[in-house]
Structure 1
């Protein structure tokens, strides 16, 4: 299992807000039945590397298909092979270290 952080920035839309694009990305993720977590600046998705790359491509293309002429998509992949990796576990480990 891998984690992908994705942030999509539409350019030249005339609005500083892009929450509707985040909502559309979340709908795509939910349609695939993938686990995800929305943060204030990005969305984290859990899945196999192939699933994640396909999802990133779909999200990017969906953003371009909304009449936006330019989209900047940033992704970060956490791919661990020595043990299972999931979002909840990663967050729990940090919280345990703090408390």
Structure 2
């Protein structure tokens, strides 16, 4: 299991709001059956590394298809190979 933090900023859409963009991204994540957590500035997704890359690409390209003149996508991946890692487990470690 790996964690992906993704933030997508569409530019040139004529709107200052990102709500519809976040909704589209979450729909892609849910269609792929992945766990996620939306934060104020990004979304964290849990899953197999290959699936995470696929989902990130779809999310990015959806913004291009939605007529953004420019799309800036920032990703951070935490891929631990010695043991499984989950969203819940990482949050619980911090809360303790």
Fold shared, TM-score > 0.5 on shorter chain = yes
Q: Report runs of 4+ in structure 1 exceeding 6 Å deviation.
A: none
TM-score using structure 1 length: 0.94
Matches within 5 A, 1:53-72: 53-72=53-72
Report how many aligned residue pairs link the two structures. Answer: 96
Say which one has the larger Rg: 1
TM-score using structure 2 length: 0.97
Structure 2, gaps ≥5 residues long? none
Partner of 1:7: 7
Structure 1, gaps ≥5 residues long? none
CA–CA separation in structure 1 for the residues paired with 2:69 and 2:77: 26
Could you tell me how far 1:87 is from its partner in structure 2?
0.3
